[in-house]
Amino acid sequence: MKIAIAGKGGVGKTTLGGMMARYLAEEGYKVLTIDADPDANLASALGFPKELVEGVTPLAARTPLIEERTGAKKGTFGGVFKLNPKVDDLPDTYSVTHHGVKLLILGTVPQAEGGCFCPENVLLKGLLHHILVRRDEMVIIDMEAGLEHLTRGSTKYVDAFIIVVEPGQRSIATAQQIRRLAQDLRVQKVYGVGNKLTSAEDRVLIEEALSGVEFLGHLSFNHNVIEADRKGISPYDLDGAIRGEVKGIIERLQREGFA
Ligand SMILES: Nc1ncnc2c1ncn2[C@@H]1O[C@H](COP(=O)(O)OP(=O)(O)O)[C@@H](O)[C@H]1O
Ligand SMILES: [Mg+2]
């Protein structure tokens, strides 16, 4: 199953995606996570040790690899390059693995439409397509905030979208926009997850504002999430209550046939 996580900046996309990946790996799933946010920080939400990711160059910044695979030559902008570069070895070669979770840091969101017609975009687009269509594992894509990158090209083969929303009108407005966009893009299934809830009213606020969206579950506001962030570790390793909430979300996905 291929899942993309979207929502306004700061709502908790990375936190949720990281914890879902950890839970799925513990359950024995093969899990590949993709950090498609230029401001990459999925590694710490997954609980990867700093040393493991410090030296990792995002794929978008691997110029020699991009040139090798596409045949593009530096300084020949606008020149000819391969449109179907070899990518099938990249997920295994360039990912890092910890706690059974594979992480691939892209450094950008590949775009089919709108994005630049340049070698790095062509390579990353081909890579994303390969991962979504050919790889048989749980794929979780942690997306950049904002809507510009949500194109048919970047979402076509995603099975389900999870829109994260927190109790607040700004995040709700963004979630409503994403839902409309996802429908226009014909994303198969759109789910919601509420985050940072402090009361039953928060839950009602969110679910009523997004009526028609199925909610997989909610995460409570949790000081240990902030504490984990401060320590640079995963909240998954710090808090049993939030692990329980994540479990509920995955079990719901399983009942829906998405895991
Ligand atoms: N359930 C929660 N309770 C408290 N703080 C949270 C919770 N979920 C996320 N946060 C905090 O909110 C901030 C943004 O979370 P993050 O996952 O980075 O959001 P996004 O990826 O959507 O930008 C982080 O500081 C994170 O620790
Ligand atoms: Mg994030």
- pLDDT tens across 202-244, in order? 999 999 999 999 999 999 999 999 999 999 999 999 999 999 9
State the Cα–Cα distance between residues 243 and 241, nearest whole angstrom: 5
Q: Whose CA is nearest to atom 6 of ligand 1?
A: 225
Mean pLDDT of the 28-40 span: 94
Domain range for 103 is 2-255
Q: Which range, 14-18, 133-137, 156-160, has the best average confidence (pLDDT)? A: 14-18
Six-digit token string for 258:
């998405």
Distance 225 CA to ligand 2 centre (A): 14
Neighbours of ion ligand 2 (CB under 5 A): 13-14
Say which CATH number the domain at 205 has: 3.40.50.300
Determine the residue of 226, 236, 249 to mutate for testing ligand 1's pocket, defined as the one with the most ligand atoms within 8 A of the Cβ atom.
Answer: 226
Q: What is the tally of structural domains in the chain? A: 1
The reported pLDDT for the residue numbered 207 is 98
Query: Would you say residue 246 has pLDDT above 70?
Result: yes
State the Cα–Cα distance between residues 83 and 228, nearest whole angstrom: 42
Query: Would you say residue 154 has pLDDT above 80?
Result: no
The reported pLDDT for the residue numbered 76 is 58
Query: Would you say residue 86 has pLDDT above 60?
Result: yes
User: In this structure, what are the phi and psi dihedrals at residue 146, rounded to the nearest 5 degrees?
Assistant: 100, 175
Alpha-carbon distances, residue 140 vs 3, 84, 161, 232 (angstroms): 5, 24, 10, 21
* pTM (2 d.p.): 0.94
Q: Whose CA is nearest to atom 10 of ligand 1?
A: 12
Question: Of 38-52, 89-103, 118-132, 235-249, which gets the smallest average pLDDT?
Answer: 118-132
Could you tell me the pLDDT band of residue 122, with boundaries at 50, 70 and 90? confident
Index of the ligand 1 atom closest to the CA of residue 219: 1
